[in-house]
Structure 1
Amino acid sequence: MSNDPRRALLRHFLAALAYRTQKALRGAPPQFADYDPGARVRRPRELLRHMTSVLGYARTFFLGGTYRAEPLDTLAAEQQRFHAMLQELGALLATGAPLRGITEEQLLQGPFADAMTHAGQLALIRRLAGAPVPPENFIFAAISGDRLGPEQSEPASPDAEWPERPT
């Protein structure tokens, strides 16, 4: 097990990504998977596949090779593959697997940050689809670097009031 605090922070970041992605997908109506937001923006199922691809690219800096995520038939299948990739990256970080050609900081600023941006896109697309994600104060969310799978905790502190709520 790696004692590197940078690795621990990266694992926590992956856990936050898992939590926020599940938050954006939890309770979405079935038609959300293929909702077309227009303007050549990826549909939710395509976006989740892209997130997995970005993380698969990150994995290549540990294992070498290439990664290509072929489209899966359902959003549920894409979710499972996404979380499996998070778990694999978390294990590589936890065991101290060496990075090849980049630093932990570059891993964060590149593919990890890119994937988090797309988690926000999923939440925005939910609103555009008419099924907004409930508000939450993420500071109090039960997020752990050991929880990278699809079974994420329920909101710890859902905001009853939201002064900045869109009108």
Structure 2
Amino acid sequence: MTPFDPASRAMLQHFLASIAYRTQKALRGAPESFGDFRAAHHVRTPYELLWHMTGVIGYARTFLRGGDFAPPRLGSLALEIERFHATLEGLRDDFVDPSLRASITDIQFLHGPLSDTMTHAGQLAMLRRMAGSPVPSENFIYAAVTSANVGAAQPEPVAPDGWWRPNQAPQPPGPITEVPEES
């Protein structure tokens, strides 16, 4: 059992809120058909990816609560979004409960299930572009992420990239000094 470290747990809670923010950014405004989009054979659909993300976060909770977590398939992407955020909320609340002693370290939470889930949030954004509905870019440093908000109701971007256009290719890293021509 690892000791309870309030500062470390606060960081993990904030990371969960970042996962919620980026997941909703990838899902917000998606076409109705997005949940069933399959990029290639044996590639998870967005629905299947979010279902997996729910499973990963639920699995993380077992290191605090014991037991197993295997979420059954739900009937729609909307229901899975709701369950995903409820599962994030459960883990967020578990992280502040000093009576729960984890069987892994906070670092293992971070580099294991939490980083895995964040990777999948990025995959959702990539699938949006592949499905013909790209997600606008933004400077995440200024995102209105708060540890208390792991729900689906995430704020709009605070610092969206003004040069972004849905019909242009992604830009190289670094500062954009002028608005690229639309192609």
Give the TM-score, by structure 2 length.
0.86
Amino acid across the alignment from 1:46: E
Aligned to 2:78: 76
Q: SS of the residue aligned with 1:112?
A: helix
Q: Percent identity?
A: 51
Q: Does 1:6 align with 2:11?
A: no
Per the alignment, in what secondary structure is the counterpart of residue 45 of structure 1?
Answer: helix
8 Å contact kept, 2:12–2:110: yes
Q: What is the one-letter code of the residue matched to 2:154? A: Q
Q: Which residue of 1 aligns with 2:118?
A: 116
Partner of 2:131: 129
Question: What is the SS of the residue equivalent to 1:145?
Answer: coil
The letter of the residue matching 2:49 is: L
Kept in 1, the 8 Å contact 2:49–2:120? The answer is: yes
CA-atom RMSD in angstroms: 1.7
Deviation at 1:22, TM superposition (A): 0.1
**2:95 aligned with 1:89, yes or no?**
no
Query: 1:67 maps to which residue?
Result: 69
The secondary structure found in structure 1 opposite 2:13 is helix
Partner in structure 1 of residue 178 of structure 2: none
SS at match of 1:144: coil
**Deviation sequence 1:5-50 (CA, Å, 0-9, x none):** 1100000000000000000000000000100110411000000000
Q: Give the 3-state SS of the residue equivalent to 1:115 in structure 2.
A: helix
Equivalent pair of 2:64/2:103 in contact (CA under 8 Å): no
- Residue 165 of structure 1, aligned match among 164, 171, 175: 171
Structure 2 residue 28 is the aligned partner of structure 1 residue 22: no
Distance 1:48 1:28, change over 3 A: same
CA contact (8 A) 1:84 1:149 kept: yes
**Cα gap change, 1:101 to 1:77, in 2 (>3 Å):** same
> Could you tell which deviates more after superposition, 91-100 or 70-79?
91-100
Deviation of 1:97 (Å): 4.3
Partners of 2:94 and 2:9 in 1: CA distance = 9
SS at structure 1 position matched to 2:53: helix
Q: What is the DSSP-based 3-state SS (H/G/I as helix, E as strand, rest coil) of the residue aligned with 2:86?
A: helix
Alignment size in residue pairs = 166
Deviation at residue 165 of structure 1 after TM alignment = 2.5
Matches of 2:26 and 2:137, distance apart in 1: 10
Instruction: Give the Cα–Cα distance (whole angstroms) in 2 for the partners of residues 146 and 57 of structure 1.
Output: 21
Answer with 1 or 2: which has the greater Rg: 2
Unmatched tracts of structure 2, length 5 or more: 173-182
